[in-house]
Amino acid sequence: MKMKKKVTGIGGVFFKTKDPEKMKNWYSKNLGLVTNEYGSVFEFRHSDEPMNKAYLNWSPMKEDTKYFQPSTKEFMINYRVENLEELKLELEKEGVKVMDNIESYEYGKFLHIMDPDGNKIELWEPIDPSFTRLYEGKTTK
């Protein structure tokens, strides 16, 4: 039986930079991003459930971050997904390189995989109400 949905949207864009603070300040001043210690949280609405808020993270990270390893790329994309446990099983069956175990936090579950070009990908099954509690009134819209 195939899963109904896999990726439901972009959950975040992470990239390396020499000076994350300078980058956050530049984007805030020149492009109006509302920034926090991690970057910026973009708020949007679910297309299937427009009353529900959803979030995307934009995060400049120090150029020596180990978070992208073993990828040597300058960026990492986070995809919003449904049913991460089921998806992990499907990916393993397909021979996709799964980098770690699912980790759970108050704002969702995470898993990392590698694509054929060596890009590390973060899969996120979000718990959006946690972001609403953490960032209400402090998001980029």
d(Cα 65, Cα 67) in Å, to the nearest integer? 5
Q: Is the pLDDT at 1 greater than 90, yes or no?
A: no
CA separation (Å) from 63 to 8, 14, 18, 66?
29, 11, 5, 9
DSSP string across 44-104 = EE-SS-TTSEEEEEEEEEETT-STTTT---SEEEEEEES-HHHHHHHHHHTT-EE-S--EE
* pLDDT score recorded for residue 100: 96
What share of the chain in percent tops pLDDT 70? Answer: 97
In the predicted model, what is the mean pLDDT of residues 53-78? 96
Query: Which residues in 20-59 are b (16+ Cβ under 10 Å) and which e?
Result: beebbeebeeeeebbbeeebbbbbeeeeeeeeebbbbbbb
Over range 48-58, report the average pLDDT. 91
Query: Does 17 have pLDDT greater than 80?
Result: yes
CA atoms within 13 A on the CB side of 104: 4
Q: What is the pLDDT of residue 15?
A: 97
Give the pLDDT score at 97.
96
Q: What is the largest CA-CA distance in the chain?
A: 49
Q: How confident is the model at residue 50 (pLDDT cuts 50, 70, 90)?
A: confident
pLDDT(3) > 80: no
Q: Fold for domain 7-135?
A: 2,3-Dihydroxybiphenyl 1,2-Dioxygenase; domain 1 (3.10.180)
The token duo for 27 is 């984007």
Which pLDDT score is estimated for 49?
85
Domain boundaries, the chain: 7-135
Q: What pTM was estimated for this model as a whole? A: 0.91
Average pLDDT of every residue of the chain: 93
Helix or strand holding residue 24 (H, E): helix 20-31
What was the pLDDT predicted at 35?
Answer: 96
User: What average pLDDT does the segment 121-135 reach?
Assistant: 93
pLDDT at res. 48:
82
